[in-house]
Chains A and B, each alone.
Chain A
Amino acid sequence: MKVLNTRLITPRLCGLLLLIALPLVSLLGLMTGPVFIPLADILSMTLSGDSGNSQEKLIIEIIRLPRVVLSLLVGALLAICGALLQGLFRNPLADPALIGVSAGASVGASLVIVFGSMLTANGLLLGLSAISVGAFAGAIITSVIIFRLATGPQGTSVATMLLAGIAISALAGAATNTLSYLADNDMLRRISLWQMGNLQGASWDRVGLCAVTAGFLGLLIPREAGALNAMLLGESEARHLGVNVEWLKRRLIIYSALGVAISVAVAGVIAFVGLMVPHLIRLLVGPNHRALLPLSALAGAILLVAADALARVVIAPAELPVGVVTALLGAPFFLWLLVVQRRRS
């Protein structure tokens, strides 16, 4: 009999490749920027602790290292949450925008940008600007509204959630547009730049916040892999396999809303990572969540660090918003994979 294996590589090989790529890409992220820092200098800085060049040391410690680490964490969070949501909705094209997180965050951020000039003056909370706090609040509020709308006496309907998410996102979009209309030129620029996502505001405080979130979710999410696999068969099939589907849905929605809200708060809306990375990994190694979840996190981290490094050099000394780069970089690669996959099958 003819055996057709539709997988491109094994999960183990994929993990190995990603684990090799991760430090390499991170080093690249540390080297590149308006000021190029040679690899030798970075290595001597980390190995011997002393460096001949104190300016380079400052750039690495204060600017580049937190930024690279933040990119790693945000990329991992976005990708793993995307994988969760695609499993929950049983739709490989679901993305965090579906539960209203991105749209809600935009409203929150725009509100602060337009009306909150008095707030931004007095300081930061946990290293977050008022804009980030607004974005986080907006993200959480919209996802709670959507979740409530979709939850009735029979439990949470994933289909209703999808529709409610689209409607609430449209509503939030209208609110953001109204705010943009009211905004002056400077505010307008800030709103649209924020919506393209950027990692310029990286600081160790933000890294800490993201690391705690990522650590927390990184411990909890992989435990759901088996249940998520069963969910792909259908909700009733998962129930017959002993999964408490209602509680699972609640947990997954909380995890993904939290993960995406935190990453949106520190880095703005970075499209593509949450949608494409899990999809891409699925094309490579198949839909088993035991492999998909960790590999997505790794690949998301790598993609965002690489994209951010590119964002800093393409039009140096200016910077492109990283969301633009993730789309420019990932979309063609994704299309290529789709074509390859079609030819093989």
Chain B
Amino acid sequence: MLKIVSVGLTISAVPLLNNITIDCPRGSVTALMGPNGAGKTSLLKVISGEHRASQGRVEINRQSREDWKPAEIAQFMAVLPQSSTLEFAFTSEEVVSLGRTPHATGTVRDAEIITAALARVDASYLAQRSFVQLSGGEKQRVQLARVLAQIWDHCESESECEAPTDGILLLDEPSAAFDLAHQLMLIDIVQQISACGVTVVMVMHDLNLAAKCADQMVFMNCGHCTAVGTVTELLTPELIKKVFSVDAQVMTHPLQGTPMVVV
């Protein structure tokens, strides 16, 4: 579904990414991890088309990223940025409705999707509130509802046949502002939509949270891809020391059996 092939990125003579190759199959969840300035967001921006790769290429659905028109790609790919700078007093409902901009599904269907998306991120009670007055975590939940609304047709298994392409969701530190309950809600959403065929790529800092839902982890450092693999392959004390310069213990979750990083 999404292939990153030897991608390099240089902006103003500063090399930000170097020879990155990652394969994200349909319905997979990829977590990009690494210290600050490792190039995670830059990589996400190359995938989303905000930066053009200096070397290599990004393939979406076996087509080069460059060959997709913005209006076509917006039909099935949504991007949640790190933070939002919206300063106009839209209601939360209106912000979510902006996610339907690329679609011509009609106001009735859009209204259904908007209500459902707000409910999905536990933000129904915010629908009529002015976006600018929300707290950081509430804003991020409403923005998450907006990107979910954009690819909603790809997130419901029953309508799978209607959508000609599978969805892609790019998340940049989606959980940074969330409280514990909403971090788990995010994991649940990611698992559910990936089960419906949506390919998810997300930048995360919390190793344990990423371990709960990632099929594939990518450790990045200084613009290089240090390691790619499954959660159990990557969450080892040696690799964590190498990438994050932190001494950590890796244990097994008593109930779920997933690796758990303790520092």
Q: Select the stretch in B79-87, B213-221, B252-260 that faces chain A.
A: B79-87
Is the pair B88, A242 in contact by a Cβ cutoff of 8 Å?
A: no
Shortest beta-carbon distance, B59 to chain A, in Å? 18
User: B236 in the interface, Cβ–Cβ < 8 Å?
Assistant: no
Known pairs A234-B81, A236-B81; A241 contacts B99 (CB<8 A)? yes
Known pairs A4-B128, A230-B98, A234-B84; A286 contacts B91 (CB<8 A)? yes
Known pairs A3-B129, A4-B129, A286-B90; A242 contacts B84 (CB<8 A)? no
State which residues 110-141 of B face A: CB under 8 Å: 125, 128-130, 133
User: A208 in the interface, Cβ–Cβ < 8 Å?
Assistant: no
Known pairs A230-B101, A345-B133; A242 contacts B73 (CB<8 A)? yes
Is the pair A239, B70 in contact by a Cβ cutoff of 8 Å?
A: yes
Q: How far is the CA of A280 from the CA of B125 in the complex (A)?
A: 28
Q: Which of B50, B75, B125 contacts A242 (CB 8 A)?
A: B75
User: A259 in the interface, Cβ–Cβ < 8 Å?
Assistant: no
Chain A minimum-CB-distance residue to B79: A240
How many A-B residue contacts, CB cutoff 8 Å?
84
State which residues 57-101 of B face A: CB under 8 Å: 70-75, 77-79, 81, 84-91, 94-95, 98-99, 101
Q: Which residues of B contact A236 (CB under 8 A)?
A: 48, 50, 79, 81
Shortest beta-carbon distance, B172 to chain A, in Å? 11
Q: Which residues of A contact B81 (CB under 8 A)?
A: 234, 236-237
Shortest beta-carbon distance, A145 to chain B, in Å? 26
Shortest beta-carbon distance, B143 to chain A, in Å? 9
User: B150 in the interface, Cβ–Cβ < 8 Å?
Assistant: yes
- Which among B75, B77, B129 has the greatest number of chain A C-beta atoms within 10 A? B129
Q: Which residues of A contact B94 (CB under 8 A)?
A: 229, 286, 288
Is the pair B98, A241 in contact by a Cβ cutoff of 8 Å?
A: yes
Q: How far is the CA of A230 from the CA of B72 in the complex (A)?
A: 16
Q: Which residues of A contact B89 (CB under 8 A)?
A: 6, 282, 286-287
User: B237 in the interface, Cβ–Cβ < 8 Å?
Assistant: no
Shortest beta-carbon distance, A154 to chain B, in Å? 10
User: A244 in the interface, Cβ–Cβ < 8 Å?
Assistant: yes
Q: How far is the CA of A7 from the CA of B49 in the complex (A)?
A: 36
Q: How far is the CA of A281 from the CA of B113 in the complex (A)?
A: 28
Is the pair A233, B98 in contact by a Cβ cutoff of 8 Å?
A: yes
Shortest beta-carbon distance, A141 to chain B, in Å? 32
Shortest beta-carbon distance, B113 to chain A, in Å? 14
Is the pair B101, A229 in contact by a Cβ cutoff of 8 Å?
A: yes
User: B102 in the interface, Cβ–Cβ < 8 Å?
Assistant: yes
Shortest beta-carbon distance, A1 to chain B, in Å? 4
Chain B minimum-CB-distance residue to A232: B88
Chain A minimum-CB-distance residue to B126: A1
Is the pair A232, B86 in contact by a Cβ cutoff of 8 Å?
A: yes
Is the pair A234, B86 in contact by a Cβ cutoff of 8 Å?
A: yes
User: A190 in the interface, Cβ–Cβ < 8 Å?
Assistant: no
Is the pair B87, A288 in contact by a Cβ cutoff of 8 Å?
A: no
Chain A minimum-CB-distance residue to B146: A233
Is the pair A288, B90 in contact by a Cβ cutoff of 8 Å?
A: yes
State which residues 80-100 of A face B: CB under 8 Å: 90, 92
7 tightest CB-CB pairs across the interface, nearest first? A242-B74, A287-B88, A242-B102, A1-B125, A242-B71, A240-B79, A6-B130
Q: 8 new A-B pairs (CB below 8 Å) besides A241-B101, A242-B73, A244-B71?
A: A3-B128, A232-B86, A234-B81, A234-B86, A237-B84, A240-B78, A241-B102, A242-B74
Mark B residues whose CB is within 8 Å of A.
Answer: 48-50, 70-75, 77-79, 81, 84-91, 94-95, 98-99, 101-102, 125, 128-130, 133, 150
Mark A residues whose CB is within 8 Å of B.
Answer: 1, 3-7, 90, 92, 226-227, 229-230, 232-234, 236-237, 239-244, 282, 286-288, 345
